[in-house]
Structure 1
Amino acid sequence: MSPLPQPVPPSWKDLGKSSTDLLQKDYPFQTTSLEVKTKTPSNVTFKVAGNRNAHGAIVGDIESKLFNKQHGLTLTNTWNTVNVLKTQIELDNQITQGLKLDLTTSIAPNKGSKSAVLAAVYKQSGFHSRANLDVLKGPTFTADTVLGRDGFLVGAEAAYNVTDGRISRYALAAGFNAPEYAVTLHALNDLKSFSASYYHRVSADVEAGAKAIYDPKLTNGGVSIEVGTKTYLDSAAFVKAKINNSGVLALGYTQALRPGLKASFGLALDTQKLNEVDPAGPVHKIGLSLVFDS
């Protein structure tokens, strides 16, 4: 009997994504933001987003995306309030099955800066590899690969400075993915910092996760630990909570108000400074996010 084909593993940047999403997404306590998405009958999507950060600065961007399914072509243009123009061209599954090519350019006329990155992604059973060349910065060539079999994952990433002729960054990772839980270990920054993450879908309505990071540059002895949970109240609402070893407690509530309209509320409390006032800025944070998607 021949073995069953292996699923395509996650990409390098998505290793530990379940835990990362649980601990980072849907906590809009840093900003107040608004996002509007629309789609035309000709298959062009538009996204307008704006946010006001904790310091009162307001930034925004407008994005248009054209998708041609027949030719596997996606064209994305973005323009933001700091006057950066970005264009991305993607070609998917045209040269060979599983291969995606990408060219991303950006220019900031006010600063005279620009960038151009060529990228390729190749996915097959049990294999996911990416490579990109930053043409104007370095130039720098970066590649990563993840191999997967029966839920076990191993991956590596390296960046090579073409001009200097040296490896400028490398990292390793390993993990295990199952339908109900996932464990991921990372050795980053030339194997000088380490992270471990865990995700568990406890039931259909409850998720839990944790992440620990060791980095000599961090406070608290170089260790950062964060644990969190997510509970669905019903099909249209959920609450999230997390706390870290610095004593910061974060709460999030997301409600689908109607089809295409979602609101999220976030609150962060520094439990070690509940009665203190910091002249440098607010000790506790609150925020709101609204998303319209037509």
Structure 2
Amino acid sequence: MSIPGIAFYFAFNDIGKPSKDLLSKDYPIDGIKVEVKTSAFDGTTFKVNGHRDNKLGIIAGDIETKYVDKQNGIVLTQAWTTSNILNGKIELENNLAKGLKLELLTSYLPITHGKTIKINTIHKQPNVHSTASVDLSKLVFSANSVYGQEGFLIGAEVAYNTKLAKRLDESLEATAKADWDKKTNTIGLEAGAKMVLDSTSFVKGKVTNTGIVGISYTQLIRPGIKANLGFAADSAHLNENAYKVGLTLTFEN
């Protein structure tokens, strides 16, 4: 993958991110979502999320608070979900060494006393981005590294996945993705495009080789209020009402 003039850190999971975002973001086809954000004078931010699943009729949500101490490189995040799960996250950046970031993620379910603990380390240096993660509850370890030089990126992980993203002009983007499942020996193809209508709205569309067609429309109603409408249908089973419709409302001040 080539990125002209790259001279900054690039995470492994961000390789192909423009393509992933174009194909997956802004398609609220599973239900209705509402998001409200606000902030206090000390920099603490508050976020409330709500989601109603169209298929199951289940309503879920969470309340999140985040405190950022930029001077000391500390970020504290706490969240409480409607499933009574308490999530926490502590981030320390450039405390022990320059370019080193440590993350501690915890999750606790009081009813069953179930808990998970995960530790992430991210090390960033010019042209090199490395991460390591260990899940103490499952004893799972993973690591990856990316090296960039003269516009080229090389990742330490290998996957049967190729992606291509192209910005055709300032208002139009297109992307394509191909996946090969080694176990089933099947190939998945997906293509999508995004068109910016004006400074406050855009539309996106995508289609897969299995006949799934998705369309979404996003509109900034006014500063701080955004609406996103999504639709997906299985063109191979139109007679079976194989379609999904969803709406997301975002409020932010």
Q: Please give the root-mean-square deviation of Cα atoms over the aligned residues, in Å.
A: 1.5
Query: Equivalent residue of 2:121, what SS?
Result: strand
Q: TM-score, normalised by structure 2?
A: 0.94
The match for 1:290 is 249
Please state how far the C-alpha of 1:83 moved relative to its aligned partner: 1.2
1:60-139 residue pairs with structure 2 within 5 A? 60-138=61-139
Matched to 1:154, the amino acid is I
Asked if 1:256 corresponds to 2:220, the answer is yes
In the alignment, is the contact (CA less than 8 A) between 1:85 and 1:106 conserved in 2?
yes
The match for 1:197 is 163
Which region of structure 1 is more displaced relative to structure 2, 114-123 or 239-248? 114-123
Q: Provide the C-alpha distance between the structure 2 equivalents of 1:93 and 1:256, rounded to a whole number of angstroms.
A: 37
Query: Equivalent residue of 2:237, what SS?
Result: coil
| Unaligned stretches of 5+ residues in structure 1 | 157-170, 173-186, 188-193
Asked if 1:38 corresponds to 2:38, the answer is yes
The counterpart of 1:226, out of the listed 185, 190, 193, is: 190
Please state how far the C-alpha of 1:217 moved relative to its aligned partner: 4.7
Q: Provide the C-alpha distance between the structure 1 equivalents of 2:233 and 2:183, rounded to a whole number of angstroms.
A: 24
Residue deviations 1:236-261 (CA, integer Å, cap 9, x gap): 10000000011111000000001111
| Unaligned stretches of 5+ residues in structure 2 | none
Q: Which has the higher contact order (CA 8 A, sep 6+)?
A: 2
Identity across the alignment (%): 42
Q: Provide the C-alpha distance between the structure 1 equivalents of 2:245 and 2:101, rounded to a whole number of angstroms.
A: 40
Please state how far the C-alpha of 1:96 moved relative to its aligned partner: 2.2
C-alpha change, 1:217 and 1:31, in structure 2 (3 Å) is farther
Q: TM-score, normalised by structure 1?
A: 0.81
Matched to 2:248, the amino acid is S
Q: Provide the C-alpha distance between the structure 2 equivalents of 1:289 and 1:120, rounded to a whole number of angstroms.
A: 33
Please state how far the C-alpha of 1:114 moved relative to its aligned partner: 0.6
Following superposition, which runs of at least 4 residues in structure 1 exceed 3 angstroms of deviation? none
1:18-33 residue pairs with structure 2 within 5 A? 18-33=18-33
